[in-house]
Structure 1
Amino acid sequence: MIGPLLVFDFDQTIADLNTDVEVQKLHPEGKIPETSEIHKLYDKTGWTDYMGAVFKLLHSHNISKDQILELMGSLQFTPGMVELLKTSVEEHNAKIIIISDSNSVFIEHILEYNGLKHLVDAVFTNPAEWGEEGLTIKPYHHQVECELSTQNLCKEKIRNIF
Protein backbone atom coordinates (compact mmCIF):
# COMPACT_ATOMS: atom_id res chain seq x y z
CA MET A 1 0.00 0.00 0.00
CA ILE A 2 1.31 3.41 -0.94
CA GLY A 3 1.10 5.89 1.90
CA PRO A 4 0.78 9.66 1.91
CA LEU A 5 3.42 12.08 0.71
CA LEU A 6 4.37 14.49 3.48
CA VAL A 7 6.31 17.63 2.59
CA PHE A 8 8.05 19.65 5.29
CA ASP A 9 10.17 22.74 5.54
CA PHE A 10 13.11 22.21 7.89
CA ASP A 11 13.83 25.37 9.90
CA GLN A 12 11.16 26.20 12.45
CA THR A 13 9.16 23.18 11.27
CA ILE A 14 11.18 20.00 11.77
CA ALA A 15 13.93 21.81 13.68
CA ASP A 16 12.48 24.08 16.32
CA LEU A 17 14.86 26.93 15.46
CA ASN A 18 16.36 28.35 12.28
CA THR A 19 19.73 26.71 11.55
CA ASP A 20 21.03 29.74 9.64
CA VAL A 21 20.20 32.10 12.49
CA GLU A 22 21.66 29.78 15.12
CA VAL A 23 25.01 29.32 13.33
CA GLN A 24 25.51 33.09 13.32
CA LYS A 25 25.61 32.97 17.12
CA LEU A 26 29.00 31.26 16.86
CA HIS A 27 30.50 34.61 15.83
CA PRO A 28 32.73 35.90 18.67
CA GLU A 29 30.21 38.69 19.34
CA GLY A 30 27.33 36.22 19.50
CA LYS A 31 25.87 37.50 16.22
CA ILE A 32 27.01 39.09 12.98
CA PRO A 33 27.66 42.74 13.91
CA GLU A 34 25.05 45.16 12.59
CA THR A 35 27.85 47.21 11.02
CA SER A 36 29.05 44.27 8.91
CA GLU A 37 28.85 44.72 5.15
CA ILE A 38 27.52 41.16 5.01
CA HIS A 39 24.02 42.39 5.87
CA LYS A 40 23.82 44.27 2.56
CA LEU A 41 24.25 41.01 0.63
CA TYR A 42 20.86 39.73 1.66
CA ASP A 43 19.13 42.75 0.16
CA LYS A 44 21.24 42.74 -2.99
CA THR A 45 21.85 39.10 -3.88
CA GLY A 46 19.74 36.90 -1.64
CA TRP A 47 19.98 34.40 1.17
CA THR A 48 22.61 31.98 -0.16
CA ASP A 49 25.12 34.74 -0.91
CA TYR A 50 24.46 36.17 2.53
CA MET A 51 24.97 32.79 4.22
CA GLY A 52 28.07 32.11 2.11
CA ALA A 53 29.55 35.34 3.47
CA VAL A 54 28.49 34.37 7.01
CA PHE A 55 30.31 31.05 6.67
CA LYS A 56 33.45 32.82 5.37
CA LEU A 57 33.30 35.26 8.27
CA LEU A 58 32.94 32.44 10.80
CA HIS A 59 35.88 30.64 9.17
CA SER A 60 37.99 33.82 9.40
CA HIS A 61 37.29 33.81 13.16
CA ASN A 62 38.52 30.21 13.36
CA ILE A 63 35.07 28.73 13.97
CA SER A 64 35.68 25.10 13.10
CA LYS A 65 33.66 22.47 11.28
CA ASP A 66 33.39 20.59 14.58
CA GLN A 67 31.98 23.64 16.37
CA ILE A 68 29.36 24.16 13.67
CA LEU A 69 28.36 20.50 13.56
CA GLU A 70 28.23 20.32 17.36
CA LEU A 71 25.85 23.27 17.37
CA MET A 72 23.69 21.69 14.65
CA GLY A 73 23.56 18.41 16.57
CA SER A 74 22.40 20.21 19.70
CA LEU A 75 19.38 21.82 18.06
CA GLN A 76 16.02 20.52 19.23
CA PHE A 77 13.15 19.34 17.09
CA THR A 78 9.74 20.98 17.15
CA PRO A 79 7.71 19.28 19.92
CA GLY A 80 6.06 16.11 18.61
CA MET A 81 7.94 16.17 15.30
CA VAL A 82 10.09 13.06 15.87
CA GLU A 83 7.01 11.05 16.80
CA LEU A 84 5.13 12.41 13.78
CA LEU A 85 7.91 11.42 11.38
CA LYS A 86 8.36 7.95 12.88
CA THR A 87 4.65 7.18 13.07
CA SER A 88 4.02 8.49 9.56
CA VAL A 89 6.67 6.23 8.05
CA GLU A 90 6.41 3.16 10.27
CA GLU A 91 2.62 2.94 10.61
CA HIS A 92 1.32 4.73 7.51
CA ASN A 93 4.08 4.02 4.95
CA ALA A 94 4.42 7.76 4.30
CA LYS A 95 7.03 9.20 1.97
CA ILE A 96 8.68 12.25 3.51
CA ILE A 97 10.44 15.00 1.63
CA ILE A 98 12.03 18.18 2.93
CA ILE A 99 12.10 21.40 0.91
CA SER A 100 14.22 23.94 2.73
CA ASP A 101 16.15 27.15 2.24
CA SER A 102 18.75 25.87 4.73
CA ASN A 103 21.56 23.72 3.30
CA SER A 104 22.45 20.09 2.73
CA VAL A 105 25.24 19.94 5.34
CA PHE A 106 23.05 21.18 8.18
CA ILE A 107 20.00 19.08 7.33
CA GLU A 108 21.90 15.86 6.66
CA HIS A 109 23.97 16.22 9.82
CA ILE A 110 20.98 16.94 12.05
CA LEU A 111 18.97 14.03 10.65
CA GLU A 112 21.91 11.63 10.83
CA TYR A 113 23.01 12.78 14.30
CA ASN A 114 19.51 12.12 15.62
CA GLY A 115 19.05 8.80 13.82
CA LEU A 116 16.26 10.08 11.57
CA LYS A 117 17.88 10.15 8.14
CA HIS A 118 16.31 6.81 7.16
CA LEU A 119 12.83 8.34 7.55
CA VAL A 120 13.36 11.00 4.87
CA ASP A 121 13.09 10.02 1.22
CA ALA A 122 14.44 13.21 -0.33
CA VAL A 123 15.85 16.58 0.67
CA PHE A 124 15.70 19.56 -1.67
CA THR A 125 17.89 22.35 -0.36
CA ASN A 126 20.88 24.50 -1.16
CA PRO A 127 23.94 22.29 -1.68
CA ALA A 128 26.78 22.92 0.74
CA GLU A 129 30.17 21.34 1.34
CA TRP A 130 33.25 21.68 3.47
CA GLY A 131 36.43 22.98 1.88
CA GLU A 132 39.67 24.71 2.77
CA GLU A 133 37.78 27.94 3.42
CA GLY A 134 35.13 26.38 5.62
CA LEU A 135 31.56 25.73 4.58
CA THR A 136 30.45 26.86 1.14
CA ILE A 137 26.90 27.03 -0.15
CA LYS A 138 25.32 27.30 -3.59
CA PRO A 139 21.74 28.02 -4.63
CA TYR A 140 19.52 25.00 -5.29
CA HIS A 141 18.47 26.69 -8.55
CA HIS A 142 17.82 30.18 -9.89
CA GLN A 143 14.30 31.37 -10.54
CA VAL A 144 12.63 34.73 -10.95
CA GLU A 145 9.09 33.80 -11.91
CA CYS A 146 7.78 33.14 -8.38
CA GLU A 147 7.80 36.23 -6.19
CA LEU A 148 6.65 34.26 -3.13
CA SER A 149 9.92 32.31 -3.01
CA THR A 150 13.55 33.27 -2.84
CA GLN A 151 15.47 33.26 -6.10
CA ASN A 152 17.59 30.35 -4.94
CA LEU A 153 14.72 27.97 -4.10
CA CYS A 154 11.14 27.92 -5.35
CA LYS A 155 9.25 25.42 -3.22
CA GLU A 156 6.36 25.31 -5.67
CA LYS A 157 8.64 24.15 -8.51
CA ILE A 158 10.01 21.36 -6.34
CA ARG A 159 6.57 20.33 -5.08
CA ASN A 160 5.42 19.97 -8.70
CA ILE A 161 8.06 17.25 -9.25
CA PHE A 162 5.92 15.01 -7.09
Structure 2
Amino acid sequence: MSCFPPGEEEQHRFRHTDIMASHSASISPDKRFIIFFDFDETIVDETSDDMVVQAAPGQYLPGWLKDTYQPGRYNEYMQRVLAYLAEQGVTESDLRSIMEKIPASPGMLTLFQFLRNRSAHDFEVVLVSDANTFFIESWLRRAGVRQLFHRIFTNPATFNKNGRLVLRPFHSHECQRCPDNMCKQVVVRDYVARRTQERGRPYQRIFYVGDGANDFCPALSLGPRDVAFPRRDFPMHRLITEIHEAMPGEFKAVTVPWVSGEDVITRLRKLVAE
Protein backbone atom coordinates (compact mmCIF):
# COMPACT_ATOMS: atom_id res chain seq x y z
CA MET A 1 0.00 0.00 0.00
CA SER A 2 1.35 3.42 -0.93
CA CYS A 3 1.38 6.16 1.68
CA PHE A 4 0.82 8.67 -1.14
CA PRO A 5 -2.91 8.55 -1.97
CA PRO A 6 -4.41 9.61 -5.30
CA GLY A 7 -5.01 13.31 -5.85
CA GLU A 8 -1.87 14.52 -4.09
CA GLU A 9 0.53 14.51 -7.02
CA GLU A 10 2.13 17.87 -6.20
CA GLN A 11 2.72 16.96 -2.56
CA HIS A 12 3.94 13.52 -3.59
CA ARG A 13 6.47 15.07 -5.94
CA PHE A 14 7.75 17.41 -3.22
CA ARG A 15 7.95 14.68 -0.62
CA HIS A 16 9.66 12.28 -3.00
CA THR A 17 12.31 14.90 -3.70
CA ASP A 18 12.80 15.51 0.00
CA ILE A 19 12.93 11.87 0.96
CA MET A 20 15.38 10.98 -1.80
CA ALA A 21 17.58 14.02 -1.19
CA SER A 22 19.74 12.34 1.41
CA HIS A 23 23.52 12.51 0.96
CA SER A 24 23.43 8.70 1.04
CA ALA A 25 21.54 8.40 -2.22
CA SER A 26 22.34 4.74 -2.69
CA ILE A 27 21.82 2.51 0.30
CA SER A 28 23.96 -0.55 0.72
CA PRO A 29 21.85 -3.71 0.62
CA ASP A 30 24.15 -5.26 3.22
CA LYS A 31 22.86 -3.38 6.27
CA ARG A 32 21.47 -5.81 8.80
CA PHE A 33 19.20 -3.46 10.76
CA ILE A 34 16.95 -0.48 10.20
CA ILE A 35 16.42 2.09 12.95
CA PHE A 36 13.65 4.70 12.90
CA PHE A 37 13.77 7.91 14.93
CA ASP A 38 11.11 10.41 15.89
CA PHE A 39 12.33 14.03 16.11
CA ASP A 40 10.52 16.14 18.73
CA GLU A 41 11.32 15.10 22.32
CA THR A 42 13.29 12.16 20.94
CA ILE A 43 16.21 13.53 18.93
CA VAL A 44 15.71 17.00 20.38
CA ASP A 45 14.68 17.63 23.97
CA GLU A 46 11.81 19.99 23.13
CA THR A 47 8.90 20.15 20.70
CA SER A 48 9.98 22.28 17.75
CA ASP A 49 6.44 23.55 17.13
CA ASP A 50 6.34 24.89 20.69
CA MET A 51 9.81 26.43 20.44
CA VAL A 52 8.92 28.43 17.33
CA VAL A 53 6.54 30.48 19.48
CA GLN A 54 9.66 32.21 20.81
CA ALA A 55 9.70 34.14 17.55
CA ALA A 56 6.25 35.63 18.19
CA PRO A 57 5.83 39.14 19.67
CA GLY A 58 6.19 38.75 23.42
CA GLN A 59 6.99 35.07 22.83
CA TYR A 60 3.35 34.06 23.00
CA LEU A 61 0.46 33.46 20.61
CA PRO A 62 -2.78 35.42 20.90
CA GLY A 63 -5.74 33.60 22.41
CA TRP A 64 -7.83 33.83 19.26
CA LEU A 65 -5.14 31.86 17.41
CA LYS A 66 -4.66 29.19 20.09
CA ASP A 67 -8.45 28.73 20.22
CA THR A 68 -8.44 27.57 16.58
CA TYR A 69 -6.72 24.28 17.48
CA GLN A 70 -8.82 21.15 16.95
CA PRO A 71 -7.79 17.65 18.11
CA GLY A 72 -6.27 15.60 15.28
CA ARG A 73 -5.71 18.71 13.18
CA TYR A 74 -2.49 20.05 14.62
CA ASN A 75 -0.88 20.37 11.18
CA GLU A 76 -3.62 22.76 10.09
CA TYR A 77 -3.18 24.72 13.33
CA MET A 78 0.55 25.05 12.72
CA GLN A 79 -0.15 26.34 9.21
CA ARG A 80 -2.06 29.21 10.84
CA VAL A 81 0.68 29.76 13.43
CA LEU A 82 3.35 30.05 10.73
CA ALA A 83 1.14 32.43 8.74
CA TYR A 84 0.71 34.59 11.86
CA LEU A 85 4.45 34.65 12.50
CA ALA A 86 5.10 35.78 8.93
CA GLU A 87 2.55 38.57 9.36
CA GLN A 88 4.48 39.70 12.45
CA GLY A 89 7.67 40.01 10.41
CA VAL A 90 9.34 36.78 11.53
CA THR A 91 11.94 35.78 8.94
CA GLU A 92 13.49 32.53 7.72
CA SER A 93 16.65 33.45 9.61
CA ASP A 94 14.67 33.99 12.82
CA LEU A 95 13.05 30.56 12.56
CA ARG A 96 16.30 28.80 11.69
CA SER A 97 18.08 30.40 14.64
CA ILE A 98 15.45 29.09 17.05
CA MET A 99 15.60 25.58 15.61
CA GLU A 100 19.40 25.46 15.74
CA LYS A 101 19.40 26.30 19.45
CA ILE A 102 17.13 23.44 20.55
CA PRO A 103 19.17 21.08 22.74
CA ALA A 104 19.60 17.44 21.83
CA SER A 105 18.00 14.90 24.14
CA PRO A 106 20.42 13.38 26.68
CA GLY A 107 22.93 11.05 25.04
CA MET A 108 21.40 11.43 21.58
CA LEU A 109 24.53 12.80 19.89
CA THR A 110 26.52 9.97 21.47
CA LEU A 111 24.01 7.52 19.99
CA PHE A 112 24.39 9.16 16.58
CA GLN A 113 28.16 8.82 16.80
CA PHE A 114 27.73 5.12 17.60
CA LEU A 115 25.44 4.69 14.58
CA ARG A 116 27.79 6.66 12.35
CA ASN A 117 30.65 4.36 13.31
CA ARG A 118 28.54 1.27 12.60
CA SER A 119 26.30 2.49 9.75
CA ALA A 120 28.56 1.31 6.93
CA HIS A 121 27.53 -2.29 7.57
CA ASP A 122 24.86 -2.43 10.27
CA PHE A 123 22.33 0.40 10.41
CA GLU A 124 20.06 2.10 7.92
CA VAL A 125 18.86 5.21 9.76
CA VAL A 126 15.47 6.80 8.99
CA LEU A 127 13.64 9.76 10.54
CA VAL A 128 9.82 9.82 10.80
CA SER A 129 8.37 12.99 12.27
CA ASP A 130 5.21 15.06 12.43
CA ALA A 131 7.34 18.24 12.49
CA ASN A 132 8.42 19.59 9.09
CA THR A 133 11.30 19.63 6.65
CA PHE A 134 12.56 23.11 7.52
CA PHE A 135 12.66 22.62 11.30
CA ILE A 136 14.30 19.20 11.01
CA GLU A 137 16.83 20.04 8.31
CA SER A 138 17.86 23.21 10.18
CA TRP A 139 18.60 21.29 13.36
CA LEU A 140 20.27 18.26 11.76
CA ARG A 141 22.61 20.36 9.65
CA ARG A 142 23.58 22.57 12.59
CA ALA A 143 24.27 19.47 14.69
CA GLY A 144 26.35 17.96 11.87
CA VAL A 145 24.31 14.75 11.68
CA ARG A 146 22.26 15.21 8.50
CA GLN A 147 24.34 12.69 6.53
CA LEU A 148 23.53 9.93 9.01
CA PHE A 149 19.90 9.79 7.86
CA HIS A 150 19.14 7.83 4.71
CA ARG A 151 15.55 9.06 4.53
CA ILE A 152 13.43 11.72 6.23
CA PHE A 153 9.64 11.40 6.24
CA THR A 154 7.91 14.54 7.50
CA ASN A 155 5.50 17.31 6.56
CA PRO A 156 6.83 19.43 3.66
CA ALA A 157 7.51 23.09 4.43
CA THR A 158 8.90 25.69 2.02
CA PHE A 159 9.16 29.46 2.00
CA ASN A 160 6.99 31.27 -0.54
CA LYS A 161 7.96 34.46 -2.38
CA ASN A 162 6.65 36.54 0.53
CA GLY A 163 8.97 34.82 3.00
CA ARG A 164 6.24 32.83 4.72
CA LEU A 165 6.95 29.24 5.70
CA VAL A 166 4.14 27.25 4.09
CA LEU A 167 3.41 23.91 5.78
CA ARG A 168 1.57 21.03 4.13
CA PRO A 169 0.29 17.68 5.39
CA PHE A 170 2.48 14.68 4.68
CA HIS A 171 -0.33 12.42 3.46
CA SER A 172 -3.85 11.28 4.24
CA HIS A 173 -4.76 7.91 5.74
CA GLU A 174 -7.52 5.96 7.42
CA CYS A 175 -5.92 5.23 10.80
CA GLN A 176 -8.17 6.25 13.70
CA ARG A 177 -5.29 6.57 16.18
CA CYS A 178 -3.25 9.18 14.35
CA PRO A 179 -3.59 12.85 13.39
CA ASP A 180 -5.12 13.47 9.97
CA ASN A 181 -1.85 14.41 8.29
CA MET A 182 0.39 11.49 9.29
CA CYS A 183 0.17 7.86 10.36
CA LYS A 184 3.69 6.75 11.13
CA GLN A 185 2.71 3.08 10.96
CA VAL A 186 1.75 3.51 7.30
CA VAL A 187 5.11 5.20 6.65
CA VAL A 188 7.12 2.53 8.47
CA ARG A 189 5.27 -0.45 6.96
CA ASP A 190 5.46 0.91 3.41
CA TYR A 191 9.12 1.85 3.66
CA VAL A 192 10.19 -1.47 5.17
CA ALA A 193 8.19 -3.39 2.53
CA ARG A 194 9.74 -1.41 -0.30
CA ARG A 195 13.27 -1.70 1.02
CA THR A 196 12.84 -5.42 1.68
CA GLN A 197 11.78 -5.91 -1.94
CA GLU A 198 14.72 -3.83 -3.18
CA ARG A 199 17.18 -5.74 -1.01
CA GLY A 200 15.75 -9.13 -1.77
CA ARG A 201 15.71 -10.07 1.92
CA PRO A 202 14.30 -8.73 5.19
CA TYR A 203 16.20 -6.84 7.85
CA GLN A 204 17.38 -8.92 10.78
CA ARG A 205 15.69 -6.49 13.16
CA ILE A 206 13.76 -3.23 13.09
CA PHE A 207 14.24 -0.62 15.82
CA TYR A 208 12.01 2.33 16.63
CA VAL A 209 13.08 5.17 18.95
CA GLY A 210 10.33 7.57 20.01
CA ASP A 211 8.42 9.23 22.79
CA GLY A 212 4.91 10.29 21.80
CA ALA A 213 1.47 8.79 21.31
CA ASN A 214 1.96 8.91 17.54
CA ASP A 215 5.06 6.72 17.98
CA PHE A 216 2.96 4.00 19.60
CA CYS A 217 1.12 3.29 16.35
CA PRO A 218 4.20 2.38 14.28
CA ALA A 219 5.59 0.36 17.19
CA LEU A 220 2.49 -1.84 16.96
CA SER A 221 3.70 -3.05 13.56
CA LEU A 222 6.98 -4.39 14.99
CA GLY A 223 7.54 -8.12 15.37
CA PRO A 224 8.94 -10.21 18.25
CA ARG A 225 12.56 -9.85 17.04
CA ASP A 226 12.24 -6.07 16.79
CA VAL A 227 12.81 -3.51 19.55
CA ALA A 228 10.73 -0.50 20.55
CA PHE A 229 12.66 2.17 22.44
CA PRO A 230 10.08 4.43 24.14
CA ARG A 231 11.32 7.40 26.14
CA ARG A 232 10.71 6.46 29.77
CA ASP A 233 7.48 7.85 31.28
CA PHE A 234 6.49 9.62 28.06
CA PRO A 235 3.19 8.80 26.24
CA MET A 236 4.64 6.05 24.01
CA HIS A 237 5.98 4.25 27.08
CA ARG A 238 2.70 4.62 28.97
CA LEU A 239 0.66 3.31 26.03
CA ILE A 240 2.92 0.27 25.63
CA THR A 241 2.64 -0.43 29.36
CA GLU A 242 -1.14 -0.15 29.19
CA ILE A 243 -1.50 -2.52 26.25
CA HIS A 244 0.79 -5.06 27.95
CA GLU A 245 -1.54 -4.99 30.96
CA ALA A 246 -4.85 -4.90 29.09
CA MET A 247 -4.03 -7.18 26.13
CA PRO A 248 -1.04 -9.42 26.91
CA GLY A 249 0.71 -10.56 23.73
CA GLU A 250 -0.84 -7.85 21.54
CA PHE A 251 2.33 -5.74 21.56
CA LYS A 252 4.97 -8.04 20.11
CA ALA A 253 8.22 -6.07 20.08
CA VAL A 254 10.80 -6.15 22.85
CA THR A 255 10.41 -2.94 24.85
CA VAL A 256 13.48 -1.05 26.09
CA PRO A 257 12.64 2.29 27.77
CA TRP A 258 15.33 4.97 27.54
CA VAL A 259 16.27 8.05 29.53
CA SER A 260 19.46 8.70 27.56
CA GLY A 261 20.61 7.72 24.10
CA GLU A 262 23.27 5.69 25.86
CA ASP A 263 20.52 3.33 27.05
CA VAL A 264 19.77 2.64 23.38
CA ILE A 265 23.47 2.10 22.66
CA THR A 266 23.71 -0.49 25.43
CA ARG A 267 21.01 -2.67 23.83
CA LEU A 268 22.25 -2.12 20.28
CA ARG A 269 25.78 -3.18 21.21
CA LYS A 270 24.47 -6.54 22.44
CA LEU A 271 22.39 -7.12 19.30
CA VAL A 272 25.13 -6.09 16.89
CA ALA A 273 27.51 -8.51 18.60
CA GLU A 274 25.20 -11.48 17.99
- Highest CA radius of gyration, 1 or 2? 2
Aligned runs of 1:33-48 on 2, under 5 Å?
A: 33=62, 35-36=63-64, 38-43=65-70, 46-48=73-75
2 CA distance for matches of 1:49 and 1:101?
12
Query: Does the aligned pair in 1 maintain the 2:55–2:90 contact within 8 Å?
Result: yes
Distance in 2 separating the partners of 1:45 and 1:39: 15
Looking at structure 2, the residues matched to 18 and 41 of structure 1 have their Cα atoms a distance apart, in angstroms, of: 19
* Equivalent position of 1:96 in the other structure: 125
Check the 8 A contact 1:56/1:133 in 2, yes or no. no
Paired residues of 1:86 and 1:119 also in contact (CA < 8 A)? no
Q: Which residue of 1 aligns with 2:145?
A: 116
Q: TM-score, normalised by structure 1?
A: 0.92
Aligned letter for 2:148?
A: L
Question: CA-to-partner distance for each residue in 1:79-120, whole Å, 9 max, x for gaps?
Answer: 111111221232253111111110011101111111100001
Q: Which has the higher contact order (CA 8 A, sep 6+)?
A: 1
Letter in 1 for 2:132: N
| Residues 109, 103 of structure 1: alpha-carbon distance in 2 compared, 3 angstrom cutoff | same
CA gap 1:155/1:45 in 2 versus in 1, 3 angstroms: closer
**1:153 aligned to 2:171?**
no
Partner of residue 138, structure 1: 168
Q: Deviations over 1:39-85 (max 9, x none)?
A: 34431771121111101111111111111101111111101111112
Could you tell me how far apart the structure 2 residues matched to 1:106 and 1:24 are? Answer: 13
TM-score, normalization by structure 2: 0.55
Contact 1:25 1:31 (C-alpha < 8 Å) held by counterparts: yes
- Share of identical aligned residues, percent? 27
In structure 2, the gaps of 5 or more residues are 1-29, 193-274
2-side partners of 1:40 and 1:123: how far apart?
A: 31
Q: Secondary structure at the match of 2:96?
A: helix
**Distance in structure 2 (CA, Å) of the matches to 1:29 and 1:154:** 34
Amino acid corresponding to residue 32 of structure 1 in structure 2: L
Deviations 1:128-161 (A, max 9, x none): 0011141000000012x21221110000000102
Question: Matched residues in 2 for 1:84 and 1:156: separation?
Answer: 24
Secondary structure of 1:62's counterpart equals: coil
Residue in 2 that maps onto 1:24: 53
Query: Cα offset for 1:126?
Result: 0.3
2:92 maps to 1:62: no
1:85 and 1:67 map into 2 onto residues whose CA distance is 27
Q: What secondary structure does 2:179 align onto?
A: coil
